[in-house]
Amino acid sequence: MKNMSRAMRRHHAGRLKRVRRFYFGCDNWSDPHALGRLLSTTKPCSCWMCGNPRRYIGRTLGEVLHLVQLAEES
C-alpha cells in the first residue's frame, strides 16, 4: 500500500507542475528549480497582494462576529 501512496504523490506532483507551468506570465517548464518552487508554494512573495490578508487588513468578518457574540454572552 505504501507504493500506491507514493505513486499518488508523484501523480499529483506532475499534475500540479503541468497546471502551474505558466504561472507569473512566463513558461516555467525550462527551469526545473522554479517549477519545483511552484509545486510547494504558488505565492511569489508575502507582500500585501500575495500574502495573508489577516496580517494587512485585520480580523475577518467571521472572527469579528464571533467576538461580538462572545461579548454579548458575558
Distance CA 50, CA 43 (A): 6
23-56 pLDDT tens trace? 888 888 888 888 888 888 877 788 888 888 888 8
Nearest to 39 by CA among 3, 5, 11, 4: 11
Contacts of 39 (CB under 8 A, 6+ apart): 13, 16, 17, 20
Residue 49: what residue type? M
Does residue 1 surpass a pLDDT of 60? no
Average pLDDT, the chain: 86
pLDDT category of residue 74 using cuts at 50, 70 and 90: confident
Q: Phi first, then psi: give them for residue 12, nearest 5 degrees.
A: -70, -35
